[in-house]
Structure 1
Amino acid sequence: MTNVYSLDGIVVFGLLFICTCAYFKKVPRLKSWLLSEKKGVWGVFYKAAVIGTRLHVAVALSCVVLAFYVLFIK
C-alpha cells in the first residue's frame, strides 16, 4: 500500500494520472468532453494527455520500474 504523502505515492499518482489521461485521449467521447480545454484547471487533463502520448516510452518504462519498486523493494 502506498502512502499519498510520500514521494513514491506522489509518483504513483502522477503516473496513473498521466496514463489515464492518455487513455481518455484515445476515446472520442471522453476526448471531446474532458480534453477540450487547453487552459485553466481543466487544461491539466489535456497537458497530462499530451505528456502521455508524446513520451509514451518513458512513461511505460517508469511504470515498470515503479511497479518493481513497489512490489519487491518497498
Structure 2
Amino acid sequence: MTNAYSLDGLLVFSLLFICTCAYFRKVPRLRTWLLSEKKGVWGVFYKAAVIGSRLHLAVALSCFAMAFYVLFIK
C-alpha cells in the first residue's frame, strides 16, 4: 500500500489525477460539467486534462513505470 505522505504516494496520486481528468475531457457530458472553468479551484481539473492530453505518451510511460515500481520494487 502506498503512503499518501511519501514522494511515491504523491506521484501515484498526481498520475491518477491527470489520467482521470484526461479521460473526463474525452466524455462530452463530463467535459461541459467539470472542465468548463479555466481559472480558480475548478481550473486545476482543466489544467490536468490539458497535461494529460498533450503529454499522453509521457504520462502513459510514467504510469507504467510507477506501476512496475509499486508492484515489484516496493
TM-score range (shorter-chain normalised) is over 0.9
Normalising by the residue count of structure 1, what TM-score does the alignment of the two structures yield? Answer: 0.99
Paired residues, what number?
A: 74
Seq. identity, %: 84
Moved over 3 A (4+): none
Q: Who is 1:25 aligned against? A: 25
- Structure 1 segments unaligned to the other structure (5+ residues): none
Once residues 33 and 64 of structure 2 are traced to their aligned partners in structure 1, the CA distance between those partners, rounded to angstroms, is 30
Establish whether residue 42 from structure 1 lines up as the match of residue 42 from structure 2: yes
Instruction: Output the CA distance in 2 between the equivalents of 1:65 and 1:25.
Output: 24
Which segments of 5 or more consecutive residues in structure 2 lack a partner in the other structure? Answer: none
> How far apart, in 1, do the equivalents of 2:26 and 2:65 lie?
25
TM-score norm. by structure 2 comes to: 0.99
Distance of 1:42 and 1:71 partners within structure 2: 32
Cα distance in structure 2, aligned partners of 1:61 and 1:50: 17
